[in-house]
Chain A
Amino acid sequence: MNLLSRLQPSPKLKRLLPGLDVLAILLWGALLFKYWISGQLRLLIHPNYFWLVFVTSILLVLLGAVKAWLWGQEFQKKSNREENVQHITLFPPGWGSGLLIITAVAGFIIPPTVFNSQVALQRGISESLPVTQAQTESFSANVKPEERSLIDWIRTLNAYPEPDAYQGQKAKVTGFVVHSPILPENYILLSRFILTCCAVDAYPVGLPVKLNRDRSAYPADSWLEVEGEMMTETLPIDTQTMQETPTEKRQLVLSANSITTIPTPDDPYGY
């Protein structure tokens, strides 16, 4: 009995437990709202679900407000409220809301990170593309090659995977640097992540860029804007799968003319 009573929170603490719930709900509402308003949401989920997070944040704040109001009324009345809504649950009292509060506070303190080349290499970078569009995108020939983004290039290459067709076309693309161990020392992979639903399935795609010097000048993870011309090279890898192949294959590579380092964009992912 002693043990049992020790496990139960004291009556005073018990009256404060609903306050913990209110805090947890309000904090989560605020956190989701903060992600939405600060644009950090785009590091976490696909834009299609932004409105869902926004609505949820509003609902949570409303829920927290109603709960706080009810709790306040209870406090005023000082009534012996009916205990039929008191639950004995899986977690000891206060734990569930405690976890929620800790996570929300951590979410406020630690901003979501932009995935780096390490993640890209781990996930297996490639030139093939997840189909993220519900409808076929029109990439007709009237889009100038130099206006294509990195992802547009990958998309085009997926639709028509013949490297020679693009030879000589001008390109201007941005992405981050990945040093692939299977590419020669004067090559980098200019990469981007594509989100299909949330950061959990961020999918790296990349285009080999041929440099006129050693790649050590461009450290991994730095963001570059590369202007150059498309050309074909025979490389011992298959860029569709980024696996090493025993026979050298013709691949589309971007031969860089000018490379400028740019800051990490606010919108680093493609969709």
Chain B
Amino acid sequence: MTQLHNAFTLFLSLLVEAFPFLLLGVSLSSALLIFIDERKLIAILPKNPLLGAVAGSCIGFLFPVCECGNVPVARRLLMQGMPNSAAIGFLLAAPTINPIVIWSTWVAFRDQPEIVVFRVVFSLIIAITIGWIFSVQKDPRPMLQPLLAQRVAMISRRPRFSRYSGQAETETDSMLLQSGTFLLGTAGTPLKMEEMSAGGISLSSKQSGEFTRRLGLFVENVSQELRELGGMLILGSAIAACLQVFVPREIILNLGQSTISSIIAMMLLAAIVSICSTVDSFFALSFASTFTTSSLLAFLVFGPMIDIKAIGLMLSIFKPRMILYLFALAAQLTFILVLCHSYFF
């Protein structure tokens, strides 16, 4: 019973700590939706897959959010038709490549500034590589959750920037001439299923300019994403808390003796603890005495990319198989890079 109570406290602690960052990320993603035209942002991204992955990874610098916050933003960008390479690059790099995380890492490891540098460089290398790999798959739909895929499919059919051309959007075309699933709307007009799916708000020209309307959309979107991602965060935190309480930490720590097993142990710990990237450097610091610098790096690089809580959130974007691929690739690349670090530095 006490164990259960402890697990509940850990669970609450994870939530209380993550909620501000979740709200920050969700607000940012909604602000992006309402006040910034991400299609413009996406349009200026380079078309070359490698350069796209580089640019996508670096966009992270604009968004000071951790992994609870970057998932909604990545989801939004994907829905707006961002290429895979850039979106995946963003998803993996954003939790690390942002001013707040770099700053907090530097505060924690003030006396070892090389950790900050390696953290940023390794995260960038991994994010760009994985982004590049997935650019081979041109069509993002098979990787995505069905409803998100529908939304992306709709975007790709729609002419770009129709909002600026002054013409009405596709809705005004005869519904009979379009393919897709339709629901009968309340006013008796058919509604396209894809239009409604997965946060499918789009600003049409008639809505722009109205502040209250925009505020309404903003609030609606924030609460919708908060509801959905909050639900995911709750499930992920519950699993993380249970693992922390019911699996003895010594099992992991005892592994931390040799070079290779300590790296693996810290990566495992990173995945289990599911701590936010903005604060995880302080957590890693508590192992600075017992673990090698390389294994700390493994924790700092791998944790923000993949952990149990983030997997929960990522399930709102990707199919489970895709997450498995991301997980395997990120783990292998982290391991190789950190191993190189342990031999050469």
Q: Which residues of A contact B (CB under 8 A)?
A: 21-22, 24-25, 28, 32, 35, 41, 43-46, 49, 52-53, 55-56, 59-60, 63, 66-67, 70, 80, 83-91, 95-97, 99-100, 103, 106-107, 110, 112-113, 115-116, 118-119, 122-124, 128, 130-132, 134, 196-201, 203, 241
Would you give 13 A-B contacts (Cβ < 8 Å), ordered by A? Answer: A43-B13, A49-B17, A55-B20, A67-B223, A80-B187, A87-B196, A87-B197, A88-B197, A91-B228, A110-B8, A200-B13, A201-B273, A201-B282
B219 beta carbon closer than 8 Å to chain A: yes
In the bound complex, do residue A199 and residue B8 qualify as a contact, i.e. CB atoms below 8 Å apart? no
Interface residues of B in 1-44 (CB under 8 A from A): 2-3, 5-6, 8-10, 12-17, 19-20, 23
Interface residues of B in 229-262 (CB under 8 A from A): 230-232, 234-235, 240-241, 244-245, 248-250, 253
In the bound complex, do residue B215 and residue A100 qualify as a contact, i.e. CB atoms below 8 Å apart? no
Q: Chain A: which residue is nearest B240 at the CB level? A: A200
Check A84/B219 contact, CB under 8 A, given A110-B8, A128-B289, A134-B110. Answer: no
Residue in B6, B222, B290 whose Cβ sees the most chain A Cβ within 10 Å: B6
The answer, among B187, B250, B275, for a CB contact under 8 Å with A197, is: B275
Q: A21-B223, A46-B282, A115-B6 are in contact. List 15 more A-B contacts (CB 8 A).
A: A32-B19, A43-B13, A52-B20, A80-B187, A83-B191, A84-B202, A87-B198, A90-B228, A91-B228, A103-B15, A123-B249, A130-B285, A198-B13, A199-B9, A200-B273
| Chain B hits for A85, CB < 8 A | 201, 217, 220-221, 224
In the bound complex, do residue A132 and residue B282 qualify as a contact, i.e. CB atoms below 8 Å apart? yes
The answer, among B17, B217, B248, for a CB contact under 8 Å with A198, is: B17
Check A203/B196 contact, CB under 8 A, given A70-B216, A83-B185. Answer: no
| Chain B hits for A199, CB < 8 A | 9-10, 12-13
| Chain A hits for B9, CB < 8 A | 43-44, 112-113, 115, 199
| Chain A hits for B244, CB < 8 A | 200
In the bound complex, do residue A112 and residue B228 qualify as a contact, i.e. CB atoms below 8 Å apart? no
Q: Chain A: which residue is nearest B241 at the CB level? A: A200
The CA of A19 and the CA of B101, in the complex, are separated in Å by: 36
SS class of chain B's interface: helix, strand, loop or mixed?
Answer: helix
B117 beta carbon closer than 8 Å to chain A: no
B288 beta carbon closer than 8 Å to chain A: yes
| Chain B hits for A119, CB < 8 A | 6, 245
B294 beta carbon closer than 8 Å to chain A: no
The CA of A175 and the CA of B23, in the complex, are separated in Å by: 37
Closest Cβ–Cβ distance, residue B67 to chain A (whole Å): 15
| Chain B hits for A116, CB < 8 A | 2, 6
| Chain B hits for A113, CB < 8 A | 2, 5-6, 8-9
The answer, among B23, B108, B234, for a CB contact under 8 Å with A100, is: B234
Which size bracket describes the interface of B in this complex? 35 or more
B315 beta carbon closer than 8 Å to chain A: yes
The CA of A12 and the CA of B248, in the complex, are separated in Å by: 49
The CA of A63 and the CA of B226, in the complex, are separated in Å by: 11
Check A87/B10 contact, CB under 8 A, given A197-B275, A197-B282, A200-B273. Answer: no
In the bound complex, do residue B195 and residue A84 qualify as a contact, i.e. CB atoms below 8 Å apart? yes
The answer, among B12, B23, B290, for a CB contact under 8 Å with A59, is: B23
| Chain A hits for B153, CB < 8 A | none
In the bound complex, do residue A89 and residue B230 qualify as a contact, i.e. CB atoms below 8 Å apart? no
| Chain A hits for B110, CB < 8 A | 134
In the bound complex, do residue A201 and residue B283 qualify as a contact, i.e. CB atoms below 8 Å apart? yes
Residue in A85, A97, A130, A197 whose Cβ sees the most chain B Cβ within 10 Å: A197
The CA of A116 and the CA of B2, in the complex, are separated in Å by: 9
Check A112/B286 contact, CB under 8 A, given A96-B231, A119-B6. Answer: no
In the bound complex, do residue B186 and residue A80 qualify as a contact, i.e. CB atoms below 8 Å apart? yes
| Chain A hits for B198, CB < 8 A | 87-90
In the bound complex, do residue B234 and residue A103 qualify as a contact, i.e. CB atoms below 8 Å apart? yes
Residue in B20, B220, B253 whose Cβ sees the most chain A Cβ within 10 Å: B20
| Chain A hits for B215, CB < 8 A | 66
Closest Cβ–Cβ distance, residue A92 to chain B (whole Å): 11
In the bound complex, do residue B15 and residue A24 qualify as a contact, i.e. CB atoms below 8 Å apart? no
B145 beta carbon closer than 8 Å to chain A: yes
The answer, among A66, A131, A198, for a CB contact under 8 Å with B16, is: A198
In the bound complex, do residue A25 and residue B234 qualify as a contact, i.e. CB atoms below 8 Å apart? no
In the bound complex, do residue A66 and residue B219 qualify as a contact, i.e. CB atoms below 8 Å apart? yes
In the bound complex, do residue B187 and residue A196 qualify as a contact, i.e. CB atoms below 8 Å apart? no
The CA of A84 and the CA of B231, in the complex, are separated in Å by: 23
B47 beta carbon closer than 8 Å to chain A: no
B227 beta carbon closer than 8 Å to chain A: yes
Closest Cβ–Cβ distance, residue A39 to chain B (whole Å): 13
Q: Chain B: which residue is nearest A102 at the CB level? A: B234
B 37-81 to A, binary, CB cutoff 8 A, 1 in contact else 0:
000000000000000000000000000000000000000000000
| Chain A hits for B3, CB < 8 A | 118
In the bound complex, do residue A90 and residue B315 qualify as a contact, i.e. CB atoms below 8 Å apart? yes
* Top 4 A-B pairs, shortest CB-CB distance: A130-B286, A199-B13, A96-B231, A96-B227
Residue in A95, A115, A124, A201 whose Cβ sees the most chain B Cβ within 10 Å: A201
